[in-house]
Structures are given as C-alpha cells and as structure tokens.
Structure 1
Amino acid sequence: MPDTETPSRGAGLLDRLSRWLDRDHLPDPAAVRSLYEAALTDSAANRLARQWADRYLAADAEERRCLLAGLVHAGIGLEAESDHSSRLFRRLYAESDRLVLMVELRADMLRWRNQVAGLSALEQVLAVQLSNWFDVGMLELRHINWDSPASLLEKLIRYEAVHAIRSWEDMRRRVAADRRCYAFFHPRMNDVPLIFVEVALTEDMAADVQALIDPGRPLADLGKARWAIFYSISNTQRGLRGISFGNFLLKRVIEELLSELPKLKSFATLSPMPGFADWLGKRGGDEIQEYLSDKAERQAAAQDPGAGAAWVDRLRGGVAEPGPESTRRTGLRLAAHYLQQLRGADPLDPVARFHLGNGARIERVNWAADRSAKGVEQSCGLMVNYLYEPDQLDENRARLAAGKPRTSRSVQWL
C-alpha cells in the first residue's frame, strides 16, 4: 500500500504551515515534525519542506536561529537510533533542489550549536549527509589564472584564509607563470568555488613565506623548478568545515601539475601552525623543560607554571630581532614537539591534522618563516614543511593511526 497521507491530514498540515508562515514566532512543531516522520513520498510534508526551505533562505540571522530551534523542538522524543533526522535533511535537499541550502544550514548550526540545546546532535547528522553529497569524485578542478573571470578572482581574494591578498598586484603575482592556483567546484554549486589551492613552483623546498608571496619577487625559471610548494589551501564554505576530502584534493592537483610539468620531483607544503602559541602559552615549566637548549633555563623552568607563556613572548621577540642560537633551537624543538601532539587519534594542530591525515610527514620546521602579524600571533613566526611522497602515504597514515606521526631525521635530531 502506498505510504501517503489522507487529504484531510494533508490539508491540516498546510493550514498549520500557512499560519506560522504569516507570523514571526516559531513554526508549529506539530507541522514541522512531519518533516521527520512522513515518508519521502508524502506530498503534504514535501510541500511543507519547500515552504520551510524558501523561508529559511530568505530569513535574516535571528529568524534562521529561531527556525533551527523549531526543527530541534519538533524532533524531541524521536528515537535516537532511527533515521528520522537524516530523512529530514534528505527531504529538504530533494524538495528545495538547493545544495547551497544544506551547506548554509550546517554553517548556521555550527554557529549556534552551543546556544540552542539539541542542535549539535542535528548538526552531526547533517555532516554525515554532506560527506555523502560532496563525494570527491564529483568535484571539478579548474585552473585559475589572470585571464579567469574577475568575479572568480574576487572570490579568491575574499576567501583566502591563510595569507591575505592585499591588492590586485598581489593577486596577479599569485597566478603568475611560476605559480598555479586551482579551485574545486561541485556540479550542483557550479558558481561557488569550494576550495582554493595555491602552489609555488621552486628550485628548492621553500622556508620563508614572505619571500614566496612578495608581489615584487622576480619570476622563477620554470625549467629549473623541481618542487611544488602548496602554500595556501582555503575552504570557502564554513558549512563544509570538517568534511574530509582525504588526499583526493592534493592528489588531483599533483596529477595536474605533473601532466604539465613532468620535471617536478617533489611535493611539499609551507604551512602555518595556528595553535602553537596558544598551546605553548598554557604549558608549565615541567612540561617543556626537556626541550630547552640551555641547562640553566631548564633548571629555572622546572618550578615555573608560567614558563610556556614566557617562551611565547621570547619566541615572538626573536622574530623581530635575532637572539641567541639557543632561543632559535628551543623554538624549533618546541614546535616539533607540538606538531606531534595528538588528541585521541588525531593531531592537535588543525593543519597537521589535515596533512598528516592525508599521509604526509613532518619534514622541516622553519624559524621566522611567517613574520606577518597573524603568523607571529598564532605560531611565533614558525612554519612547517609537510612532505608528500606518493609511495609513502599509506605507511604514514598507518603510523599516525598507531599514535606515531612520521617525521624526518632533521626533525628527530632537533
């Protein structure tokens, strides 16, 4: 027997829907509950879903928060192990025919999950759905250059999350002949770049991002380029935060680069450590003393609960004015130790989590590599190279799963 509603029940749902559409307060939970419970073939619930989606996309921030609270309230009492919540999102996606709605829904859920009780559980269900809808095999890779549409270049400027693009001159240098920039798109969001990947083609493994992104830097000779340095990877959609695309993204870019420049031999990143200063500032002397280079400093730090915060200040100062070699060496050792810290099975640092999770190894830590205000604030000016060796990715992931992130000998010897 077809699973459909009787006309009277359908009319009742639409009557309740029309009442809350005309008012400013929360929608009727009895009406919204049908979005969870009714079969996906239920015509009345599906019409309601289209109305809800339209209102949500047109709503301001406060109204969206209220609508999300209404969703949570309507789902109270449903069995946790059921698929009611995933049915809700499948219905909204199918009836709105807008993947962008689902991305915006999750972005708003992440924004308000600590303010609206029960929203966090709903957000986790949507994250699983988005992982399915954004299957990596569906993403399209596009090369961006100076001849790309101005609207796309403007989006790159707006969404660049690692190293700000400060002018059109800066923008032009980022897509010059010795640079490559790529964007990934989903066919259902064809005009919205999801991820930007910026690459520098160099003779050696880069250790200084200021030199790398300097708009006045002369063009490198592509004939001598042997390294591809990934120096910026920016996710443009907050609603896709934490949705893993695995090593697919960089693998696609590496394949694209090799098809154009077969002389490239090595692939690495020049990456920030956004959590380093905060982590170090919370460490007591007993936690870091073994990494201090000077014996007297180790003894002094032993009983000092504020030793980590003092070292943050010291390392930041060392970026502006070179200090003793012992300060530089201690900074490198502390950063290397931080990069190997795990929370559960995952690296503590979010950028390390991405690259080590994709099978890279910690290759080198670089002193005073990012002297921008942001770089000094977040990581005391230090940066790290993660090395991608295609034949070692699986082994490196296995070592990470065993709680032992892969590092180079130069890092081990710090």
Structure 2
Amino acid sequence: MTELHTLARASNTPPGRADDDTDRPASKTQESSGLITRLGRWWERERRLTPAELKPLYTARLTDVGANRAAKQWCLQYGAADGKDRRAMLTQLVETGATLDPRADQGLLLLRRLNMQAAGLQFMVELRADMLRWRNQVAGLTVLERELETLLSNWFDVGMLELKPITWDSPASLLEKLIQYEAVHEIRSWDELKHRVADNRRCYAFFHPRMSDVPLIFVEVAFAHQMADNVQVLLDPQTPAESLNKARWAIFYSISNTQPGLRGISFGNFLLKRVVDELLREMPRLKSFATLSPIPGFTDWLKKQDNQTLQALLHNRTETETRTDNQAGARWVAKLRKAAVGAAPELVQNAGLRLAAHYLTTMKNGRPIDPVARFHLENGARMERVNWAADRSAKGLEQSCALMVNYLYDLDELDQNLVQLTAGKPSLGRNLKRLLP
C-alpha cells in the first residue's frame, strides 16, 4: 500500500515541480501509470466485499453483471483463504442474508450464483463441508447449509453418476485416492492395495461428470461360499483366493464416502444396486449379497450405560445391586475387549452379542442411532447377524470391542424392509432376533 500511495502522489504532482511529467520520459510516465493500474486491480481483488456489495448476491438477477463479478471475487478469495478467514467470510455472508426481509428463497439464489462463478462443482462441495464444520458456531449458518444440501441433492442426482471399476491397472492417481479416502479399513501399503483390487476382488467408484477425477464413493467387494464373519480373513493378502466359479456370496466389506460436503446426500442404495447388477452380469452364479460392517458407535454407547440398565438388557437376575453405578458400562467395554483378543467365556461372548444387538436396534427420532446401521437399513437392507471378534484391529477394538455386523441385501425385499423401518421396526434376521427379548 505504501508503494501504491507513493505512486498515486507522484501521478498527481502539480505542474512546475521537478518531477513534473513534462520533465520525465514518456516511458517512465507510462510505466508508473501501468503499475498504478495493476496495483489498483490487485487491491480491488484482495479487498473484502462489504455487506452492501454482498447484498446483490442474494437479490440481483442471475444475469446481473455486477453481482456476478462480485460473486466471482468472493469465490476466488474464499478458495485462497485459510480456515479462520473462511469462517469470517461465511459469517459475513450469513449476516448479510439475515438483513433481508423477507429472505424467502434468496439463499438459493445466492448459492446458484456462486455455483455459476466458482471454478467447479468441487468448490460447492467444499463450501458445504465448511458449513457443516461451523454450523453450530455461526448463527444462522444452518439455514444456508440446508439450502445448499437441497441444491447438491439435485446436482448429484443418481442418474448423472457413472460407475467405474477400479483395478490394479487404473491410473496411479486414482489408486492413491483409494488409499487416501479408505475410511473403514486402512490401506497401509501398496501390497495391501493390490490385494484389494486383485482379479478375485472387485472395487467400484461413483463419479460425477463435473468432478470426473474425484471418486465420490468407493465400494470394495470380496467373494465367498458363505456369509463372511471375520474381516481380518478378508483383508489378509495371505488368505487363499476364493474361486470365482464357486463363489455364491458377494461381501461388501468397505464402503467409503470421500466427500464430507456430501454428507446426508444419499446415493448409496443406488450405488449398491448398480454394483449388484454389474456383479450379476459378470458372475450370474452369485446368489446372495451382504456386508461385513463396523459398529462405530457401540463402545461410546456402552460406556454410558449404568449397572441397572445393563442388568435389564442382559436379564441378569443374579445381581441384586440396586445402586446406580455409572462405571458399569466402561467395565463391560474393558471385559469385552479383553475377551475378544483371548479365550472368550461363552457367557461374556453372548452378553457382548446381546448388548450389540440392543444398540444396533435402538432408534432415535425414527432412525437407528448407529450411523452405519442407519445407512444400510435406510437403503433397504436387513440386519442379519452380529459377529464376535470379527475385527481385532486397534480400530475395531476401540469402536466396537471387535464386533461386526452383516447386513443382507435381498433385492426382492428392499422396499418392504424400508416400509418396516418407517414403522419403527427394522428388519432383522433370525440370528439377531434370538438376541433380543
């Protein structure tokens, strides 16, 4: 700014002074003028828009040149900003919107304008990820976030998405993204990755045409002669490969969403149906489709249960303690973890399975409280079986005491299962039903 002010003063020097333009070469004058212009443009570009300049982003027509120019400037600044500045810019944007009366659908108009000016749909996805991150800290941001969710749901219509197989021959940049975005079972080496995309496995991803180099969801598939009950067996590169000709089960053992900004925008059901259709086209002898899924909220839930609640859940009539013990759940977590990596007494094993079944079938506001259960049940699956010591990795022990669950995808029952879930009664297999009262 000091240089800009100096040049500005030089350009306005009165006639008769020693540095008058008439005494300077024309090239020097032009050079100074050009520098002033460039610095002025830089200053204007970097300057934060005022509320008065932001307001037309909500109110002007989508063809308004001035409003669109300001929207482009906002997008460029936001893309280059760090977290602190981004939060400040979103706060200012929301505060400007709060001054509109009535606001009506002008938030949607703003977001459509930003989408027109942004460098791509990826910008809007990242914008919503930021909104989700700060919506509880910035007053009024939730309203704008929900409006953006509505638009993204339309922009990511499942009919626009393309399913592509991922193999060892896929571009290295795509394979690196699979390692980067794998959210269920960490890929720790290229050998492990090669096992995940081997000829006896399948891996698929969904892409949007406007984000053609960014996979939205990965799904990894193994094949077996029966429903799998141990993920370490599936992940171990030394496990003998199943013959695809003899395989009757397709096991979805990892489904990873890659974009936090698309949270809550469901196309998982469509993804799995597309994968099933693709698998049946290639391997018509397949008969059944199931997941081997984590139970990420189980230990946190169990730690919060007191002794009286646990006695009721386990129908334990041998304990007569009536005082509330808030540490009872934490002790059960430690007991289940120890049993999962050692010799498990049958009573402890059965208790762990029963507690997991209670947790998995617990509903809040008409939806399962476990996020993975919510995803699969709301896609029409049936909760089929809880498996003991199915994931003894550090993560598996931490989040679920090594327990995992199978969700069964019977294509003929998906719609009926959804009807049951809407009525508050998730569809359960026999193995799960016997664990519940």
Q: Shift in Å at residue 243 of structure 1?
A: 1.1
Greater mean alpha carbon deviation, residues 77-86 or residues 28-37: 77-86
Q: Shift in Å at residue 263 of structure 1?
A: 0.4
SS at match of 2:92: helix
CA 1:332–1:71 in structure 2 vs 1: closer, same or farther (change >3 Å)? same
RMSD over aligned CA atoms reads: 1.8
Whole-Å separation in 2 of the counterparts to 1:233 and 1:193: 12
Q: Shift in Å at residue 97 of structure 1?
A: 5.2
Which residue is equivalent to 2:329? 308
Residue type matched to 2:427 in 1?
R
State which of 249, 271, 276 in structure 2 corresponds to 1:227: 249
Which residue is equivalent to 1:3? none
Q: How does 1:198-277 map to 2 (within 5 A)?
A: 198-277=220-299
Residue type matched to 1:374 in 2?
K
Q: Shift in Å at residue 19 of structure 1?
A: 6.5
Whole-Å separation in 2 of the counterparts to 1:370 and 1:90: 45
Q: How does 1:136-215 map to 2 (within 5 A)?
A: 136-215=158-237
TM-score (norm 1): 0.92
Q: Is the 1:291–1:330 Cα contact (8 Å) retained in structure 2?
A: no
Q: How does 1:391-402 map to 2 (within 5 A)?
A: 391-402=412-423
Whole-Å separation in 2 of the counterparts to 1:209 and 1:301: 39
Q: Shift in Å at residue 52 of structure 1?
A: 1.3
Residue type matched to 1:138 in 2?
M
Q: Shift in Å at residue 49 of structure 1?
A: 1.1
Alpha-carbon displacement from aligned partner over 1:264-299 (angstroms, at most 9, x marks no partner): 0000000001000001111122222233265424x3
State which of 305, 316, 331 in structure 2 corresponds to 1:283: 305
Whole-Å separation in 2 of the counterparts to 1:288 and 1:34: 58
Of structures 1 and 2, the larger Rg is shown by 2
Residue type matched to 1:345 in 2?
G
State which of 380, 383, 386 in structure 2 corresponds to 1:359: 380
Which residue is equivalent to 1:51? 73
SS at match of 1:74: helix
CA 1:283–1:145 in structure 2 vs 1: closer, same or farther (change >3 Å)? same
Q: Is the 2:128–2:149 Cα contact (8 Å) retained in structure 1?
A: yes
Residue type matched to 2:424 in 1?
G
Residue type matched to 2:183 in 1?
A
Percent identity between matched residues is: 61
Unaligned runs of 5+ in 2: 1-40
SS at match of 1:51: helix
Q: Is the 1:20–1:28 Cα contact (8 Å) retained in structure 2?
A: no
TM-score (norm 2): 0.87
Whole-Å separation in 2 of the counterparts to 1:113 and 1:257: 40
Alpha-carbon displacement from aligned partner over 1:75-102 (angstroms, at most 9, x marks no partner): 1132466101111111111222510110
Q: Shift in Å at residue 347 of structure 1?
A: 0.7
State which of 42, 60, 74 in structure 1 corresponds to 2:82: 60
Alpha-carbon displacement from aligned partner over 1:104-142 (angstroms, at most 9, x marks no partner): 101111122222222222111111111111001111000
Q: Does residue 53 of structure 2 align to residue 28 of structure 1?
A: no
Q: Shift in Å at residue 303 of structure 1?
A: 4.0
Residue type matched to 1:377 in 2?
E
Alpha-carbon displacement from aligned partner over 1:315-362 (angstroms, at most 9, x marks no partner): 111112123101000100110111111110111000000000011011
State which of 78, 94, 98 in structure 1 corresponds to 2:100: 78
Greater mean alpha carbon deviation, residues 69-78 or residues 193-202: 69-78
Whole-Å separation in 1 of the counterparts to 2:77 and 2:234: 46
Whole-Å separation in 2 of the counterparts to 1:345 and 1:152: 38
Kindly tell me the number of residue pairs found equivalent between the two proteins: 396
Q: Shift in Å at residue 187 of structure 1?
A: 0.1
Unaligned runs of 5+ in 1: 1-16
Q: Is the 1:227–1:264 Cα contact (8 Å) retained in structure 2?
A: yes
Which residue is equivalent to 1:369? 390
Whole-Å separation in 1 of the counterparts to 2:373 and 2:222: 20
Whole-Å separation in 1 of the counterparts to 2:429 and 2:129: 37
State which of 310, 322, 327 in structure 1 corresponds to 2:348: 327
